[in-house]
């Protein structure tokens, strides 16, 4: 199976950091989201501007707040003062019917240029300017640490401005932040200079000062801990451009007009305020100025179910944000943030450093880190009951394809490994709420959860089986068998629905004859139904059967376990036998006259594959090479079910997928569907028909390129040992997100920040060969890049840390350092290059009793006693 | 008065054609409008795409029609077929929440690259592609000839595709145009693949064939005269992407699925159709394929008065398009177009060639030709009564600042010189409709005209005086004294309103003491009021007085004429004496306690300059150097009133305006208002305060850059002999419209295609020194560039043609060639380099009797008998 020529040199594919840095045109699309889990975000643009204000309980791409920006005034001793907006210059085009807006301060001078570097959750900008007598850098972040959903769920953006005086004379400077008080804003309506809408007005800007912190309280707060302040509570209320002109005239003189008497804005009008930090910098001196922008928008309501048959009644229902149960108001958030800033920042940096010190290729870390941000965008909610929910993605102003869509969230691994407790709330919803008595799981969630309203549509075969594999993953990570037991009846019902069918009607079931192969109407992630055996739904079904076998045994239901095992083995054998075409697995469509249609709700967007009177099914893939054909096997690789399909076939099929579906250049690709990759870009098509027999109406999206599937295939290629190919797919994908074409921190599919893209986390799992079973106390590492000097982040349901290994000819040393939580250990699986015969382990220098058990290519270090590692502890393992 | 260093080399400033050609990123903003007077337009994008569909009786920036595009299929003998969208590749960014749209055929392959060149009204694209076996070029235009408003007012876009086979084997090809039938579309709603709105549906696509023409009739028509056709009346009606896929599959096979039975589209749905032209090209062979896209949208209604106090009731009132009175339907337009195509094209080319063969600098021709397009954009209407009206400009989806705004249209000269009969209808509206009994002219027009509703707001001092200068211009150009006499009572009332005041209240008048200087509340084009003497309104007032003096004399009212003259002379002396500061003219503001406020209607956008209790007036310019300070003198130069202010002062003031207000680089400019020029761009500020004393609240827009004022100043600099400076302003301005930053065919201010930009026509007048007085039968030329070998377009109210002159040491030869209309001639003013003593004139080789009369730097050739030149005739004048 020789692979076609790879367009990237291997040294590029395997290059370690530093991460990309962006400048010039590549700043155009950059929007780095700043916000916590379920808080919404405001994004830092590539030029340093604030863009896409999404803090108002809904997405807001393109939403800007008028006159909301950072600015600087500086004067070197004996020199002329200079005032600048703290952004690099605007970039073309400059077309707007009535000119670039005053409210975007388009006409004020900016700094000459900047470079942007993002290592989520930290963004760094370095500015350059001919005239400013200071060097200026900005670091922005929102606190984030795995496992700690509260620390990672704060409605705040923290900006640290670093000013340095490189000259020979002292410099006086004022760094200011101006902001519009838009209390009442709906997050959608265009606000400009003259904005006057009924929703606005009566806002009050007031001065706050306590415990060394100071700031201006609006609904959104700015707070800082800095002694020398200047501020304007509200700009002059005046027509035309007078308010802005008056502010800028004051600022350009280096002093804001402080006004101590707060009063409410007139009806319908916006007040603007500015907070300035004054510094005096001696030659060579530097200073860091921290500013916290905090918000508090408690009233999350359902804005997304309009037009969804059966759920329209939910629109407007209050749901509420979890963060609002923790903080009284934005000032509370701001003061908490600044009081705790050293802790918040060090926790965040600890995570960041652990992730970025990994020896994974730079572009893989880029893919892994940038897409884990999705957890903390408007794609995801944390409702006032503490539960986590997710859209598929977000349209520009409303969440898209609500909610917890089982088949799209099949691909996501980031939340599961970073916030496993939140991920478990999704399983609670899947099984305790959405699974009907007959085992039919509504594949979307209606919010609010109470009273229970279920999405009235056929269940998704891939999503439902995937949810079972997910619950297995959650159990492995956390080991909470009590939790599992509570959901077990629904899990079994959901699995057995495969052969029992809707309301027990087996003839309408996915697997009517119960042989472990789905043949019925299988609704799936392409928004259509596949008919007949196929390994896309089929491999997920095998995975669900195997997972439930293990779960049943863990719960003492051996008979059930055996039954599932039997179905699995029959299914596996039949799929492999009937669908392998020598190069990959195909679909075997049934004759049209054998189609059994399932009577279920319909939705406006749905088109049936089976149209009475037509003699060919629509929307199948047939003899095609489907990129998702091994979806269940990929998930199996993640959770340690390695053998769902024969490994040599899996490897061959993956090589075919890469050969046929991945293109280094799409200039000649003809796609009538939606477009996510084009021109000279590289991408992996969802399907191709290399042997001909492309259907007249192939399944929708077949000619598209989805990052989530690219990641899934890339990780699976790596699991299968086709590492070059896997890294190539990731490289092509991330090159498309180069800041000029697309935002590196937003991979969109059917919506921005699309959940499927969180499949990128499986790259980290695959490259480090990491697995953990809490029930067994077993941790495994099998690095496949830089294995002789390897380091990587890892996480379990209760802990995270850093794993390292080093090889030389005669010895192998591994270290496992826990940086948060606690970790139960009984067995440690490693993958040395040579077969060792001796092991020594130490914990804080103290030896631990253990022996070696060989296990294929790996070795297992079996501890004589279970160990419970806690944060800060490190074990060192030497093999010889 | 030394001018600051000019940033462009002189050879650049004076370079003749060819015009710029655009490629790469410079294609991004290009939208070349195709449409006639009062028909709306569809624009040709830089890549060859159709964009900004504005044929639906309203502006539509960003409006696209789904699946509406050109495509090509080609197959070289023995080769593989290739199918491409006939556009060059899409350019970044590629960000869209759910991917680039199918309905924009984003995923289909395009040609590698193209170059775009526009010489309005012709646009040319040349494509390049690695794989296509043909060379492809496109020429697009809409018929246009000066004076012929009907020929120039056809709702059609004509595309001529030129295919050339450069290879050694024959090539079969199909060139196709696909289009959505959007009958009923409102021109605003976003249409995409799944568009289903109540306004659409029930459209019928039918096949039409007659007299060698064929086409598909929708509401919009495509028609062609080509024998070998293939077509699909309507694509398959199918869900998902199936309709488009099915079309493309057919097309990629080289043959459309003809379907002869037309039927109506289902309710709410769009049908798509495709027309293909088949050709066989032998090696080396070329072919030109003409395609006419015609439309017929008769129902123009008032969509623009919402929110305008007093005029809201007009919204929705029917007005109607003039073109709909000439054509029955779009098929009528299409067949007329193709039947008359040779005539339409040759008339258009004659005008184009006459204009572009001029020896004016290339960037001036670019400015002149590109902005005359405004006449034929949605900024302008020709209503069913045949009258012409104009917005100030257009917001993206609605005309802005309706209608015929007298002060903005002060700057426009293109319509006056190209379609003088239409321009005269605006004067009819100004005086016969909008001028109240007391002489107060409503400075905006309410449509429909009947019943008469007047804009209820104070009159504009600059607009009203300008309208009087305009009526003078119109009379000079056409010599229609009967027409003048009809309007004369209103003209006088409008002038005398200056000292009689509202309802005869002189104390509230602009010029309360009637001394020829305006001192009262002068509302003006900056949307505020100036108080006290200023040369901006003042020079227009002087011009109006002088114009009315001439008009009164022509009508035999010598007493009135003498009175106007007296006021003029007093005013001129006083302005010059009181406002000259040694470098330029300033404003002298009255003390606040002397302000007389005029009680008049108010509008939501208006802010008063005088606020009781404030001790400084807002929004004045005071000691500033105002770019518009000589506005009336510029208009005077255009119409031959050269002496409104002392010429040496005018020249000095213009030099100051250039020195202080023009910036080669705006990076350090701080502007809190709207932004039309920024970063390293050049531009002329509306005002500056080089001597200090900038008001706290200067007049709005003072820090902005408006192309209309840049043109006005540039032309005036040229008139005053500061030619380098004038060309520099134009060069900086057009460099800002480089296709990447802004569209060369859209100079926006408060709206796209802003009428003020038609001041660019005065560049042609100034550089050729052209003037015409029909009453006197006098034509004048005084070229100031390439005077030794000069050629230029000229036009009068009844004719247009080409003027040329050539010098050598001993002789001077001028030719005047009439290319359309007829021209009465009595006196010809020329400007030879040396003083001649002899003249000889011939008409078609036959001598004409004449003698020389010296007149300052010029000479006057006085014909002994009046001559009436007709199209095709040429006179030749030799001086020695």
For A567-572, which contacts have Cβ atoms below 8 Å and span 24 or more sequence positions?
A567/A499, A567/A514, A567/A515, A567/A516, A568/A516, A568/A542, A569/A516, A570/A515, A570/A516, A570/A517, A571/A511, A571/A515, A571/A516, A571/A517, A571/A538, A571/A541, A571/A542, A571/A545, A572/A516, A572/A542, A572/A644, A572/A645
Cβ atoms of B762 and B711 closer than 8 Å = yes
Which residues in chain B have Cβ-Cβ distances shorter than 8 Å to A111?
none
Q: What is the mean pLDDT of residues A582-596?
A: 93
Predicted local confidence at residue B801, as pLDDT: 98
Give the pLDDT of residue A640: 97
pLDDT score at A197: 66
Q: Which uninterrupted H or E stretch holds A512?
A: none
Contacts of A425 (CB under 8 A, 6+ apart): A386, A387, A388
Q: What is the C-alpha to C-alpha distance for residues A176 and A293, in angstroms, rounded to an integer?
A: 13
At residue A220, the pLDDT reads 64
Cβ separation A93–B248 shorter than 8 A: no
The tens digit of pLDDT for each residue in B449-477 reads: 998 999 989 999 999 999 999 999 999 99
Cross-chain residue pair B99–A676, CB shorter than 8 Å: yes
pLDDT of residue B1: 43
* Confidence (pLDDT) at B2: 43
**Which residues in chain A touch residue B246, judged by CB atoms under 8 angstroms apart?**
696-697
Instruction: Quickly state the pLDDT bin for B194 (edges 50, 70, 90).
Output: low
Cis (ω within 30 of 0) for the bond into A630?
A: no
pLDDT at position A877 over 90: yes
Residue B108: closest CA among chain A residues belongs to which residue? A670
CA atoms within 13 A on the CB side of B219: 20
Residue B871 token pair: 């199209």
DSSP A429: I
DSSP characters for B702-753? TT-B-HHHHHHHHHHHHHTT-HHHHHHHHHHHHHH-SSSSS-TT---BSBBS
Answer yes or no: is pLDDT of A4 > 70: no
- Measured distance CA(A233)–CA(A211) in Å, rounded: 20
Would you place residue B233 in the very low, low, confident or very high pLDDT band (cuts 50, 70, 90)? confident
The better pLDDT of the pair A195, B109 is held by B109
The answer to whether residues A717 and A658 touch, using CB atoms and an 8 Å cutoff, is yes
Contact B98 A400 (CB under 8 A): yes
Chain B contact probe: residue of A72, A252, A674 with most B CBs at under 10 A: A674
pLDDT at residue B4 in the model: 59
Structure confidence at residue A809 (pLDDT) = 77
Token pair, residue B771, equals 């003037």
Q: Which ipTM did the prediction report?
A: 0.95
User: What Rg value do the Cα atoms of chain B yield, rounded?
Assistant: 28
Please give the residue that has the higher pLDDT: either B481 or A214. Answer: B481
Give pLDDT tens digits for B760-801. 999 999 999 999 999 999 999 999 999 999 999 999 999 999
Query: Residue B198 above 80 pLDDT?
Result: no
* Structure confidence by residue, pLDDT tens digits, B277-323: 999 999 999 999 999 999 999 999 999 998 888 899 999 999 999 99
Mean pLDDT for B742-765 is: 98
Nearest-angstrom CA–CA distance, A775 and A777: 6
For A717, the enclosing helix (H) or strand (E) is helix A707-719
pLDDT mean over B666-682: 97
CB contact under 8 A, B97 and A700: no
- Total beta-carbon pairs less than 8 A apart between chain A and chain B: 208
Q: Which of A107, A678, A743 sits opposite B106 (nearest CB)?
A: A678
The pLDDT tens digits of the residues spanning A804-845 come to: 999 987 889 999 999 999 999 999 999 998 889 899 999 989
More confident residue, B362 or A609: B362
**DSSP per-residue string spanning A795-856:** E-SSEEEEEEEEE-SS-EEEEEEEEEEEEEEEEEEE--SS----EEEEETTEEE-EEEEEET
3-state secondary structure of B478: helix
Outline where DSSP puts E strands in B563-631. 625-626
Section A713-725 average pLDDT: 98
Position A395 pLDDT exceeds 90 = yes
**What is the average pLDDT score of chain B?**
94
Candidates B89, B618, B741; nearest CB to A679: B89
- CA-to-CA dists, residue A242 to A108, A762, B672, B704, angstroms: 15, 54, 9, 14
What is the C-alpha radius of gyration for chain A, rounded to an integer number of angstroms? 28
More confident residue, A515 or A602: A515
Between chains, do A748 and B99 touch, taking CB under 8 Å as contact? yes
Q: What is the pLDDT of residues A132-165, one digit of tens each?
A: 999 999 999 999 999 999 999 999 999 999 999 9
What's the confidence (pLDDT) of residue A228?
81
- A-chain residues within 8 Å CB-CB of B248? 670, 672
Burial (0-12, 13-18, 19+ Cβ within 10 Å), B482: exposed
Residue A596 is predicted with a pLDDT of 77
- Written as six digits, the tokens of B257 are 């699925």
Cβ separation of B97 and A675 shorter than 8 Å?
Answer: no
pLDDT at A858: 82
Q: Give the strand pairing for B82-88 and B110-111.
A: parallel
Phi and psi (nearest 5°) for B281? -115, 115
**Separation CA A579–CA B368 (nearest Å):** 69
As a whole number of angstroms, the distance between CA B878 and CA B880 comes to: 7
Sheet with A286-294, strands from edge to edge, namely A22-23, A113-119, A122-128, A135-141, A156-164, A286-294, A221-224, A213-217, A206-210
Q: Beta strands B778-780 and B771-773: pairing type?
A: antiparallel
pLDDT at res. A381: 98
- Local confidence band at A219 (pLDDT 50, 70, 90 cut-offs): low
Whether B319 contacts B384, CB under 8 Å: yes
Residue A331 has φ and ψ, to the nearest 5°, of -65, -35
User: Distance of alpha carbon A498 from its chain centroid, rounded?
Assistant: 30
Whether residue A408 has pLDDT greater than 90: yes
Helix, strand, or coil here: B567?
helix
Quote the mean pLDDT of chain A: 94
Query: What is the mean predicted confidence (pLDDT) over A291-304?
Result: 94
pLDDT at residue B363 greater than cutoff 60: yes
* 3-state SS string for A760-806: HHHHHHHHHCCEEECCCCEEECCCCCCCCEEEEEEECCCEEEEEEEE
- Interface contact B669-A29, CB threshold 8 A: no
**Beta-carbon separation of A105 and B400 below 8 A:** no
Residue A1 has pLDDT above 50, yes or no: no
Condensed to tens digits (0 to 9), the pLDDT of residues A590-630 reads: 999 888 777 666 777 788 888 888 888 999 999 999 999 99
Are A102 and B673 a contacting pair at CB < 8 A?
yes
Query: Three-state SS across A699-712?
Result: CCCCCCECHHHHHH
pLDDT at B700: 93
pLDDT per residue over B652-673, tens digit each?
Answer: 999 999 999 999 999 999 999 9
Q: How many CB atoms lie within 10 A of CB B62?
A: 11
Q: Which one of A90, A99, A192 would you mutate to disrupt binding with B, by most B Cβ within 10 Å of its Cβ?
A: A99
Mean pLDDT is lowest, of A262-266, A334-338, A342-346, B212-216, for B212-216
Which of B108, B703, B742 minimises the CB distance to A672? B108
DSSP letters for B824-876: EEEEEEE--SS----EEEEETTEEE-EEEEEETTEEEEEEEEEEEEETT-EEE
A856 CB-near residues (< 8 Å, 6+ apart): none
Using the predicted structure, report yes or no on whether residue B3 has a pLDDT greater than 60. no
* Cβ proximity of B794 and B809 under 8 Å: no
Reading the block at residue A770, the tokens are: 């990491």
Helix (H) or strand (E) holding A530, with range, is strand A529-530
Is residue B81 over pLDDT 50?
Answer: yes
Contact present, A714 and A729 (Cβ < 8 Å): yes
Q: What phi and psi values does residue A178 have, to the nearest 5 degrees?
A: -110, 145
Paired strand residues for A244:
none
| Sign, Cα dihedral of A53, A58, A62, A64 | negative
Mean pLDDT of A228-242: 86
């Amino acid at each position: 199976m020789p692979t076609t020529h790879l367009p990237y040199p291997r040294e590029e594919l395997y290059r370690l950091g530093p991460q990309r840095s962006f400048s010039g045109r590549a700043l155009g699309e950059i929007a780095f989201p700043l916000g916590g889990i379920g808080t919404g975000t405001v994004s830092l643009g590539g030029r340093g501007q604030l863009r896409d204000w999404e803090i108002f309980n809904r997405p807001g791409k393109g939403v800007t707040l008028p006159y909301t920006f950072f600015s600087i005034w500086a004067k070197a001793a004996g020199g002329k003062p200079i005032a600048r907006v703290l952004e690099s210059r605007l970039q073309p085009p400059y077309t707007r019917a009535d000119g670039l807006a005053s409210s975007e301060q388009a006409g004020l001078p900016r700094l000459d240029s900047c470079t942007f570097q993002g290592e989520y959750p930290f963004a760094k900008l370095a500015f350059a300017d001919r005239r400013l007598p200071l060097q200026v850098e900005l670091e922005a972040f929102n606190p984030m640490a795995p496992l700690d959903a509260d620390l990672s769920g704060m409605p705040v953006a923290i900006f640290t401005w670093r000013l340095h005086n490189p000259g020979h004379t002292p410099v006086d400077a004022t760094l200011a932040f101006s902001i519009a008080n838009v209390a009442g804003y709906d997050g959608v309506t265009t606000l400009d200079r003259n904005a006057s809408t009924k929703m606005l007005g009566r806002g009050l800007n007031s001065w706050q000062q306590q415990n060394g912190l100071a700031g201006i309280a609006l609904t959104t707060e700015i707070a800082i801990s800095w002694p020398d302040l200047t501020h304007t509570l509200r700009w002059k209320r005046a027509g035309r451009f007078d308010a802005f002109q008056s502010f800028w005239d004051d600022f350009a003189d280096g002093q804001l007009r402080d006004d101590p008497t707060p009063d409410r804005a007139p009806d319908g009008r916006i007040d603007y305020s500015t907070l300035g930090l004054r510094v005096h910098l001696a030659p060579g001196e530097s200073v860091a100025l921290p500013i916290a922008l905090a918000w508090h928008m408690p009233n999350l309501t359902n804005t997304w179910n309009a037009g969804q048959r059966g759920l329209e009644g939910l629109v407007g229902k209050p749901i509420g944000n979890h963060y609002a149960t923790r903080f009284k108001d934005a000032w509370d958030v701001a003061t908490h943030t600044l009081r705790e800033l050293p802790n918040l920042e060090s926790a965040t940096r600890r995570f960041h450093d652990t992730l970025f010190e990994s020896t994974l290729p730079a572009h893989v870390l880029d893919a892994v880190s940038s897409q884990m941000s999705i957890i903390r965008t408007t794609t995801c909610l944390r409702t006032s009951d503490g539960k986590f929910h997710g859209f598929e993605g977000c349209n520009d102003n409303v969440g898209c394809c609500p909610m917890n869509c089982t088949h799209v969230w099949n691909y996501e691994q980031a939340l599961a490994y970073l916030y496993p407790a939140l991920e478990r709330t999704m399983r609670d919803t899947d099984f305790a709420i959405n699974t009907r008595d007959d085992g039919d799981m509504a594949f979307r969630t209606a919010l609010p959860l109470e009273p229970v309203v279920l999405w009235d549509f056929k269940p998704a075969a891939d999503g439902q089986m995937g949810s079972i594999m997910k619950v297995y993953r959650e159990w492995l990570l956390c080991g909470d068998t009590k939790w599992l037991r509570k959901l077990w009846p629904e899990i079994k019902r959901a699995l057995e629905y495969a052969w029992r069918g809707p309301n027990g009607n087996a003839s309408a079931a996915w697997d009517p004859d119960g042989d472990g192969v789905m043949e019925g109407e299988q609704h799936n992630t392409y928004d259509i139904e596949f008919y007949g055996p196929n390994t896309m739904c089929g491999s997920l079904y095998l995975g669900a059967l195997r997972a439930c076998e293990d779960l049943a045994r863990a719960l003492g239901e051996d008979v059930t376990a055996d039954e599932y095992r039997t179905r699995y083995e029959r299914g596996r054998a039949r799929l492999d036998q009937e669908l392998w075409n020598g190069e990959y697995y195909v679909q075997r469509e049934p004759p049209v006259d054998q189609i059994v249609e399932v009577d279920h709700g319909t939705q406006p967007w749905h088109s049936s594959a089976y149209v009475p009177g037509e003699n060919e099914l629509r929307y199948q893939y047939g003899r095609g090479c489907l990129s998702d054909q091994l979806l269940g096997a990929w998930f199996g690789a993640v959770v340690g079910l390695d053998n769902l399909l024969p490994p040599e076939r899996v490897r061959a099929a993956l090589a075919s997928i890469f050969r046929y579906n991945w293109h280094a250049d799409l200039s000649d690709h003809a796609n009538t569907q939606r477009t996510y990759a084009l021109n000279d870009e590289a991408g992996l098509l969802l399907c191709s028909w290399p042997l001909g027999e492309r259907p007249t109406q192939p399944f929708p999206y077949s000619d598209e390129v989805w990052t989530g599937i690219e990641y899934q295939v890339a990780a699976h290629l790596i699991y299968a040992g086709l590492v070059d190919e896997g890294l190539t797919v990731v490289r092509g994908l991330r090159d498309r997100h180069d800041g000029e074409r697309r935002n590196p921190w937003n991979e969109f599919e059917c919506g921005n920040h699309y959940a499927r893209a969180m499949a990128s986390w499986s790259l980290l799992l695959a490259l480090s060969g990491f697995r953990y079973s809490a029930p067994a106390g077993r941790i495994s590492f099998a690095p496949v890049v830089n294995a002789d000097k390897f380091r990587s982040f890892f996480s379990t349901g209760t802990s995270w840390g850093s794993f390292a290994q080093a090889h030389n000819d005669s010895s192998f040393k591994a270290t496992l350092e826990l940086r948060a939580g606690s970790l139960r250990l009984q067995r440690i699986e490693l993958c040395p290059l040579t077969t060792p015969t001796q092991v020594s382990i130490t914990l804080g220098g103290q030896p631990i009793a253990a022996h070696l058990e060989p296990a294929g290519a790996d070795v297992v270090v079996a501890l004589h006693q279970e160990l419970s590692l806690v944060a800060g502890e490190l074990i060192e393992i030497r093999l010889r």
